[in-house]
Amino acid sequence: MLSIITQNMGSLCSKQRRYNEADAEENAQAAEIERRIEQETKAEKHIQKLLLLGAGDSGKSTIFKQIKLLFQSGFDEAELKSYIPVIHANIYQTIKILHDGSKELAQNETDSLKYVISNENKDIGKKLSEIGGRLDHPRLTKELAQEIETLWRDAAVQETYACGNKLQLPDCTPYFMDNLQRLSDSNYIPTKEDVLYARVRTTGVVEIQFSPVGENKKSGEVYRLFDVGGQRNERRKWIHLFEGVTAVIFCAAISEYDQTLFEDENKNRMIETKELFEWVLKQPCFEKTSFMLFLNKFDIFEKKILKAPLNACEWFKDYQPLSTGKQEIEHAYEFVKKKFEELYFQSTTPDRVDRVFKIYRTTALDQKLVKKTFKLVDETLRRRNLFEAGLL
């Protein structure tokens, strides 16, 4: 009997030890979870939230891709290959816009004959327009690339291209048309530059976390950049991102002063940008938020301004050209910059005047310029953080 009792007591003690060990393990796991949550919470506090806003086709998504290339590992081969159908679709859609645009201009313009496609290229044009209108586009072959090149070189299509501001013609047009043979190679893998030129309308929200690189080391600041669709039907998705934003980076395509919206061909793109910037500035949640205004697509602006008058846009109707060449380009740019500065201060209430506001001249396709710009943005935000902490 005594031995049975002893055995039972031993069994109970053994079970108790196991329970204690299990409890200790459970407690250790709970403590580890708590520690991780605390670490993540602390880490989250150090992450600066940046919001990339702007109207459709302002170059936001190109800036976003540049950040991935500059401050992350870039695009691996699988990601590069995923852009093949996008680039081929861009080419087909572009040649369709040019073909259909030439027909429209031939019907509506006074000097209509110069927009009439030559008889030998009419069948090619009809075929390519049909392909461009499909939802699924075929892979670009050497034969199709040759036909696109033939149509692109047609005098009527070149005249139509010169009227690109009247059409919804993407900025990537000359780049892709100049590289058709390479882009149609059976072993084609997109380059980083091809990816930057590729046009995909942003829908929903995409984000990236990065730290800008200094001369010898990282700045220490970690940023989470959010890019959202710029078209009107996408903007309702912006609101839930507005809380806790360190800085708004607003992209304005200054080259689009003589173009109309993709969604509304009666609305000037620059007027839309003006109204959108004004609306964003007045949002209550941006009371202390820094604003970085990127006057983007300067590369296109400097070519266009010498041919198309800036006062084609109602907002710039009081613009008076002063000179020619580089002097005129700078004069026009400074005029646009001043307009945005005035708009900022007109739309900023007295209790918000101390928030940071900076303007940068940008070309989203220029990697060196984007890198330099983001280093300046980083320095500005770090100085603001030090000032708020009482260290400056």
Going by the annotation, the residues of the binding site for GTP are 196-202, 227-231, 296-299, 364
Give the residue among 226, 230, 215 at the shortest CA–CA distance from 371.
Answer: 215
| Residues tagged in the binding site annotation for Mg(2+) | 61, 202
For 168-171, which contacts have Cβ atoms below 8 Å and span 24 or more sequence positions? 168/97, 168/262, 169/94, 169/97, 169/98, 169/101, 170/57, 170/90, 170/93, 170/94, 170/199, 171/57, 171/199, 171/297, 171/300
Contact assessment for residue 366 and residue 297, using Cβ atoms and an 8 Å cutoff: no
DSSP-derived letter for residue 323 is -
Give the residue among 189, 257, 195, 249 at the shortest CA–CA distance from 62.
Answer: 195
| Residues tagged in the binding site annotation | 61, 196-202, 227-231, 296-299, 364
- Token digits for 244? 């806790």
Distance CA 371, CA 266 (A): 36
Q: In what order do the strands lie in the sheet with 47-54?
A: 205-210, 222-228, 47-54, 247-253, 290-296, 357-361
244 φψ region: left (φ > 0), alpha (ψ -120 to 50), beta (else): left
**With helix as H, strand as E and coil as C, how does 256-293 read?**
HCCCECCCCCCCEHHHHHHHHHHHHHCCHHHCCCEEEE
- Range list of β-strands (E), the chain: 47-54, 205-210, 222-228, 247-253, 290-296, 357-361
Distance CA 5, CA 198 (A): 81
- Provide the residue type at 17 as one letter: R
